[in-house]
Amino acid sequence: MRAALALFSALLVLPAAGALGQEPADAVYYNGRIITVWEARPVVQAVAIRGNRFLRVGSNQEVLKLAGPSTRKVDLRGRCVVPGLIESHVHPVGAALSERDGPVPVMHSIAEVQEYMRKVAARLPADKLVFVPKVYATRLKERRYPTRQELDAAVPRHPAVADNGYAAVLNSVALARAGVTRSTPEPDNGKIIRDPSGEPTGLILGARQLIGRIFQDRTFSHQDELWALRTIQKQYNSAGITSIVDRGQAASGVRLYQELQKLGELTVRATITYRIGSQGTPSEIRRRILEIPFVTGFGDDRVRIGAIKVILDGGILIGTAFLRAPYGTGTEIYGYKDPDYRGVFGMSMESLIEMARTANELGWQMTAHTAGGGAIDRLLDAYEEADKVKPIRERRFTVTHGNFPDARAIQRARKMGVIYDMQPAWHHFDGPAIAPAFGPDRMRNFIPLRSLIDAGVTVVGGSDHMIRMDPRLSLNAYHPFFGRWMAVTRKTAAGTVLNPEQRITREEALRLWTINGAYGTFEEKKKGSIEPGKLADFAVIDRDYLTCPEDEIKDIDALLTVMDGRVVYERK
């Protein structure tokens, strides 16, 4: 709190609140423009905090009455304040570990990928893997993946992989180590891309089981993972984020958060999505869930268990998302031509239905990675089957990503109370690149925020942050105000506006990262807005979110971030 006093440095001397028959506040922030996301009082001047809760929210006069001799009083000097921001889709540990050995540059071309590989190879023994994380053709100026030969030219002696989690390009040494040859059978869960003679080009879509052995060098210790979580949460705080939803952890990942909490070093509230494998019979899936020793809601206000999750399809950036109809032509950006290909769907419907029924029975919230429209429809089919046994509305089942919900998918979600976890910033970087592959009919349904909100579907805002630490330069930029700017403007990197009819208002966009995010984790009565009795989480920002020029929204930065009533970030 001393940091806040240093930043705003103005004190009032008022009669003790105790003299008025009230216990005084621990802190008062006054003389601001505070956007509360509280319907009763949307914009106020001041807040009082006692312990880790908001005590009073209102005018300067109302709130300063609660100041006593020991109350810390901070003059906001007209600054704008928003509730603590909730990032509903991140992968923080992996994102930080990507830069465990130093910053990973933003790569815009194949030549830059090659140059980075050369630098990494220069410091590694010849048998060690040269690994470049999250290389997407949609982000490269060539609009294609590098070839095996291009990786060979950069790294001839080391095994080398340009990876993005759902697809990978291997050089010749890595292909040999993985044992992938012209005679390797085509996998059911992906594609081996081959040249006209049948030789692998180095590009493998999905089918991670084919290349898992070459990643043995990419192992990290428990201390590495603790470092990652400790480091990245500070970056989140610097963007005004006070709560996150980690969208994919196993038991060991849950323990990371618990350990950091015990050390008193956790500065973001974390809701942890528990991920299970998609393979197995319905009875095996059920047994897998029954063996988990907790359920949604286990934990406290700092670390708690959220949804159970499964991966159903691939990705829109690699051409393996499962669609309602084949991709058709225009898939060159993905490195293949196959007019009959619909993408990957990695779970039997019988097992998916059993998962939904079991989750509903046991009290789990459920979600699934569903990038394509076909995957959305199948997930909603499973949710409907569970809903027939027992209504799922109170479980707040979720569609993760859900990039292409058509009108029917929206209405089905509304009927069951299903939430959409969406990443608006994908419009900006990837909308123009994927449009030729998906075609105009499908692109009309790309992240249709206006249609979802008008239908009464709850949407939570996030980024799918995976690589790098910088809020705006990460592969999936996680700065909430950048995401909000995209939701409001839908402006792309190509200078176009993608589906302008799907724009939403500033107030609606703010809700995606505040009260809607809290609703998505069953905590809307505890956080997500600034009102008496709720957790004292908020951010002081450097311009007025509601009135600044529209294109300045993306540039808004946090000056001060407060979580549980204490300062966790101050801009120097």
Least confident of 27-36, 135-144, 289-298: 135-144
Residue 352 has pLDDT above 90, yes or no: yes
Q: Where are the beta strands (DSSP E) in 147-255?
A: 160-163, 167-170, 190-194, 200-206, 241-249
Who wins on pLDDT, 132 or 563?
563
Nearest-CA neighbor of 148 among 183, 184, 117? 117
Q: Taking residues 506-516, report their average pLDDT.
A: 98
The pLDDT of residue 7: 47
pTM of the shown model: 0.93
- For residue 453, give both structure tokens: 């909100």
- For residue 504, give both structure tokens: 């939403």
Question: CA dist 525 to 286, 529, 534, Å?
Answer: 32, 9, 7
| Domains defined along the chain, listed by start | 2-84+559-570 (2.30.40.10), 106-215 (3.10.310.70), 222-527 (3.20.20.140)
Yes or no: say if 365 and 396 are a contact pair by the CB < 8 Å rule. Answer: yes
Q: Indicate the angle between helix axes 349-362 and 282-290, nearest 10 degrees.
A: 30
Residue 18 has pLDDT above 90, yes or no: no
Residue 12 has pLDDT above 60, yes or no: no
pLDDT confidence bin for 10, thresholds 50/70/90: very low
pLDDT confidence bin for 572, thresholds 50/70/90: confident
- Over the stretch 157-194, which tens digit does the pLDDT of each residue have? 999 999 887 889 999 999 999 999 999 999 988 899 99
User: How far is the C-alpha of 274 from the C-alpha of 290, rounded, in Å?
Assistant: 13
| Torsion, CA 36, CA 37, CA 38, CA 43, rounded to 10 | 40
Nearest-CA neighbor of 165 among 466, 425, 548? 466
User: How far is the C-alpha of 270 from the C-alpha of 275, rounded, in Å?
Assistant: 15
Beta bridge partners of residue 83, listed in sequence order: 538
- Over the stretch 37-57, which tens digit does the pLDDT of each residue have? 999 999 999 999 999 999 999
List of residues 6+ apart from 291 with CB closer than 8 A: none
pLDDT confidence bin for 2, thresholds 50/70/90: very low
User: How far is the C-alpha of 354 from the C-alpha of 357, rounded, in Å?
Assistant: 5
The pLDDT of residue 61: 97
The pLDDT of residue 496: 94
- Over the stretch 239-251, which tens digit does the pLDDT of each residue have? 999 999 999 999 9
- Over the stretch 403-443, which tens digit does the pLDDT of each residue have? 999 999 999 999 999 999 999 998 898 999 999 999 999 99
- Over the stretch 440-494, which tens digit does the pLDDT of each residue have? 999 999 999 999 999 999 999 999 999 899 999 998 999 999 999 999 999 999 9
Mean residue pLDDT of the chain comes to: 93
The pLDDT of residue 50: 98
pLDDT confidence bin for 319, thresholds 50/70/90: very high
Yes or no: say if 320 and 205 are a contact pair by the CB < 8 Å rule. Answer: yes
The pLDDT of residue 4: 45
- For residue 227, give both structure tokens: 């470092």
User: How far is the C-alpha of 473 from the C-alpha of 469, rounded, in Å?
Assistant: 8
Q: Taking residues 289-311, report their average pLDDT.
A: 98
* Residue 19 backbone dihedrals phi, psi, to 5 degrees: -65, -20
- For residue 166, give both structure tokens: 């759902």
